[in-house]
Amino acid sequence: MSKILIDIRNRVISCVNCSLSKSRTNAVPGIGNEKSDVIFVGEAPGRNEDLQGKPFVGTAGQILSEALEFAGFTRDQVYITNVVKCRPPNNRQPNTEERDACRSFLSEELKIIKPKIICILGNTAYSSLLDGNSITKNRGKLVKNNDQLYFVTVHPAAIIYNPALRQVLKDDFVLLAQTLDKLRKGLDVEISK
Ligand code: URA
């Protein structure tokens, strides 16, 4: 891991920028391949992530891994992180203050890794990164903002409540993999307006 990513990781682990630092067991820095062309961004750690200090290791993580494998990715190949690095109590959504307190960590991760595509997992990442209310209009699509490409899909935890979304996530990841492949080859990709 590069020095700068280790430095971010250490600052996340010791962060006391918001009150979530008082209730967390562990802060959860991003994990994975810093040379990845794609970064997956979730909402915030859940219970298992808080206990282990790693992102997406609980039920939502298993669903994420399954969909990644379906599309030909391995977890080691990609970089996985969250908008907010500490677990909000009772798994509530992180509030504006908590997102703002954590914002610089994600910005730094993105600046260092410079992914071709940022894959947005669900509404919290969507509103934090693209300022949108609901992913519905752009789900399964590639969006460009300030010269950065984003691919928008459902949060893996949504599948726990709506099993029909399992195949949606898998198919979206296949499309994401195909899009990355085209970008690597310098081919045109379809960008949603
Ligand atoms: N949900 C998230 O958004 N992130 C995790 O790391 C785990 C569950």
**What is the full per-residue pLDDT of the chain (193 aa) written as tens digits?**
899 999 999 999 999 999 999 999 999 999 999 999 999 999 999 999 999 999 999 999 999 999 999 999 999 999 999 999 999 999 899 999 999 999 999 999 999 999 999 999 999 999 999 998 889 999 999 999 999 999 999 999 999 999 999 999 999 999 999 999 999 999 999 999 7
Is the distance from the beta carbon of residue 110 to the nearest atom of ligand 1 less than 6 Å?
no
- Select from 171, 187, 60 the least CA-distant residue to 116: 187
User: Residue 180 C-alpha to ligand 1 middle, in angstroms?
Assistant: 23
User: Residue 185 C-alpha to ligand 1 middle, in angstroms?
Assistant: 32
User: Residue 46 C-alpha to ligand 1 middle, in angstroms?
Assistant: 6
Is the distance from the beta carbon of residue 43 to the nearest atom of ligand 1 less than 6 Å?
yes
Scanning the chain, the segments in alpha helix (DSSP H) are: 3-13, 20-23, 47-52, 59-70, 96-113, 123-130, 158-161, 165-184
pLDDT in tens, 147-184: 999 999 999 999 999 999 999 999 999 999 999 999 99
Burial class (CB in 10 A: 0-12, 13-18, 19+), 188: exposed
User: Residue 39 C-alpha to ligand 1 middle, in angstroms?
Assistant: 14
Burial 42-66 (b: 16+ CB within 10 A, else e): bbbbbebbbeebbbbbbebbebbbe
Atom of ligand 1 nearest to the CA of 156: 1
- Only one residue has tokens 């109590």, namely 89
Is the distance from the beta carbon of residue 45 to the nearest atom of ligand 1 less than 6 Å?
yes
pTM exceeds 0.85, yes or no: yes
The third-level CATH classification (topology) of the domain covering 3-184 is: Uracil-DNA Glycosylase, subunit E (3.40.470)
Cα dist from 8 to 4, 12, 27, whole Å:
6, 6, 12
Collapsed DSSP state (helix, strand, coil) of residue 189:
coil
Domain ranges of the chain: 3-184
